[in-house]
Amino acid sequence: MKIRNIISVLEEMAPLAYAEDFDNVGLLVGNSETECSSVLVCHDALENVIDEAISKNCNLVVCFHPILFSGIKKITGKNYVERAILKAIKNDIAIFAVHTALDNHSQGVNKIFCDALGLTNTKILVPKNNFIQKLVTFTVPDNADKVRNALFEAGAGKIGNYDNCSFNTQGFFTFQGNEDSNPVIGEKGKLHTGEEIKIEVVFEKHLQSRILKALFANHIYEEVAYEIYDLQNQHQNIGLGMVGEFENEMDEKDFLHFVKDKMISDGIRHSVFLGKKIKKVAVLGGSGSFAIKNAIQAGADAFLTSDLKYHQFYEAENKLLLADIGHFESERYTKNYIVDFLRKKILNFAIILSEENTNPVKYL
């Protein structure tokens, strides 16, 4: 099995198009055409993890955080990033990162976070903007079903929990082909009028080339009329963070002890207790201070995230309990999820969970 075959499965789990613009996801080191011996899944692809991959005969390391995040001009081994990359290259080990591609997935980092706490009725906290497009096309009634079904098969027409969604209207068309035309209906040089169906479907913008390929392959016209629009609608099933509910509410202090136990955190920093019960909880794995207002707007009783600065605790505004449980801790079960996903998709192949603890933060 080649590394590119593993990558195809990883992109089922976390489409790279879901990643944030600032991020660096995908194949960071290595050649996708290399035969894969086995896969090591980790949180951070540090030098000690590359050593582990060498010892376990893994030539593909799948990491959550990208070891290459910002541009580098030299690789001399002077810091932890360069040392890990050098060692990977010297030992023909490829590195693939998922990061915010999995953060933004509805079954990704924050759903894993919610599941670890037992939260139900979950939904995205910060839905992704500028990610939906609409295709409008026109064809004769006899061709409409074929075109529509091909568009659905290519990924169009999915809205929330529904698929095969479209809007269709009937109308009339006119055309007159020139001497170089080859019309399927009518004759060139003559004005033709007929009945036509207008088909409208929405799709995730990264699917545009696939959608257009399906349209052109299944449309009968020589010149296919179509329009594509960018929609301002938020994508309710893609985005950062998540909000959910406990079956039974609990006291604030009991809640934090519960979180500390479930997420195996050695310390939690939190805002002032408000004397209110905790039932609705917002979570955002990793650095989530930007979403404090979203958590408040969602009506959350508490917001769990990490990397909060001193003044950001004031932003709770006595409206919710704000808690920093640790960056690694908020994402700690992600690598387990990746391993489980790969093992279900790729049978009889070595998918290994890294034993290295790459959390750089320690507590007294």
Instruction: Specify the CATH number for the domain of residue 145.
Output: 3.30.70.120
* Torsion sign (Cα): 338, 341, 346, 350: positive
CB 295 within 8 A of CB 240: no
What H or E segment, with its residue span, contains residue 230?
strand 226-231
User: Per the domain annotation, does 190 fall within a domain?
Assistant: yes
User: Per the domain annotation, does 169 fall within a domain?
Assistant: yes
Record the tokens describing residue 289, joined without a space. 């201070």
C-alpha span between 260 and 131 (Å, rounded): 35
69-73 contacts, C-beta under 8 A, 24 or more apart = 69/23, 69/24, 70/24
Q: Of 231, 251, 271, which one is at a domain's C-terminal end?
A: 231
CA distance to 90, 123, 262, per residue, from 114 (Å)? 40, 10, 11
Are 95 and 151 members of one domain? no
Record the tokens describing residue 78, joined without a space. 């002077």
Residues of the chain scoring pLDDT < 70 = none
Are 15 and 59 members of one domain? yes
What is the reported pLDDT for 325?
A: 98
Are 115 and 207 members of one domain? no
CB 326 within 8 A of CB 17: no
C-alpha span between 242 and 244 (Å, rounded): 7
What is the reported pLDDT for 71?
A: 80
Is 356 annotated in some ligand binding site? no
Residue with tokens 């030299």: 74
What is the reported pLDDT for 258?
A: 98
Are 48 and 24 members of one domain? yes
Q: Helices 252-262 & 109-117, crossing angle to 10 degrees?
A: 120
DSSP bridge partners of 226: 137
Task: Encode 160-185: b = buried (16+ Cβ within 10 Å), e = exposed.
Answer: eeeeeebeeeeeebebebeeeeebee
C-alpha span between 174 and 176 (Å, rounded): 7
Are 200 and 156 members of one domain? yes
Which residue from 295, 288, 292, 280 is spatially nearest to 326, judged by alpha carbons? Answer: 288
Q: Of 231, 247, 265, which one is at a domain's C-terminal end?
A: 231
Is 327 annotated in some ligand binding site? yes
User: Per the domain annotation, does 34 fall within a domain?
Assistant: yes
Record the tokens describing residue 121, joined without a space. 């009725």
CB 316 within 8 A of CB 340: no
Q: Of 231, 258, 291, which one is at a domain's C-terminal end?
A: 231
Are 33 and 82 members of one domain? yes
Which residue from 353, 293, 359 is spatially nearest to 330, judged by alpha carbons? Answer: 359
Are 251 and 207 members of one domain? no
User: Residue 244 maps to which CATH number?
Assistant: 3.40.1390.30
What is the domain extent for residue 20?
A: 3-99+333-353
Q: Which residue type sits at 31?
A: N
Are 50 and 183 members of one domain? no
Q: What is the pLDDT of residues 50-91, one digit of tens each?
A: 999 999 999 999 999 999 998 888 899 999 999 999 999 999
Q: Which residue type sits at 256?
A: L
The total domain count for the chain is: 3
Are 123 and 142 members of one domain? no
What H or E segment, with its residue span, contains residue 292?
helix 292-297
User: Does the global pTM surpass 0.85?
Assistant: yes
Are 320 and 298 members of one domain? yes
